Amino acid sequence: MGNQDCLRKTLMVIIMIKPSQPVLDAIWPLTVEWGGHWLTAVGVVLALMAVALMVWATAAAGRVKLAEPDKLVTSGPYGMSRHPMYVSWTLVYLGVAAVLSSWWLLMLLPVLAVWIHWESSREEERMVATFGSAYQEYQARVRRYM
């Protein structure tokens, strides 16, 4: 699965939760009322950091098709995290949860984290199959997320 597909699915989850939040809050109110402007500011900062990381990761990857790579990218953010795009999507998710003051989104974060871990594990299997010992050395040097 490509980066755009993963981002689209993450955004779809967020988009589906927001309209249903009033119904969910009527059943079990979980909107943060005390957050105010500081929580919105935190959310905006997280989302901006995520976008900056996405741009950096995309630039570092250059013309490599991340869904079917023909070259191992280990520079830029890929020198600190094997999956900087997943890190950035998680930051976007947290930022949106903060801006919306949504505990529902925070409660669903473990589901997103499990899905990201599962998907990154599948990607890593493909990378080992494609790049062999070069990728295994990269795994030994660089953390999966942060």
φ, ψ of residue 31 in degrees (nearest 5)? -80, 135
H-helix or E-strand spanning residue 7:
helix 3-27
All structural domains of the chain with their residue ranges = 3-62+69-141
2 versus 98: the higher-pLDDT residue is 98
Q: What residues does 102 pair with on adjacent strands?
A: 31
Any idea what DSSP says for residue 34?
A: S
Confidence of residue 25 (pLDDT cuts 50, 70, 90): low
Confidence of residue 136 (pLDDT cuts 50, 70, 90): very high
**pLDDT at residue number 15:** 63
Question: Is residue 17 over pLDDT 90?
Answer: no
**pLDDT at residue number 87:** 94
Average pLDDT over residues 29-36: 64
Alpha-carbon 15 to chain mean position: 15
Confidence of residue 122 (pLDDT cuts 50, 70, 90): very high
Model confidence pLDDT, tens digit, residues 43-56: 889 989 998 998 89
CATH entry, 3-62+69-141, from 3.30.930.10, 1.20.120.1630, 1.10.3720.10, 3.10.180.10: 1.20.120.1630
Q: What is the pTM of this model?
A: 0.78
State how far the Cα of 123 lies from the Cα of 115, in Å rounded to an integer: 12
Confidence of residue 105 (pLDDT cuts 50, 70, 90): confident
**Tokens for 38?**
């500081």
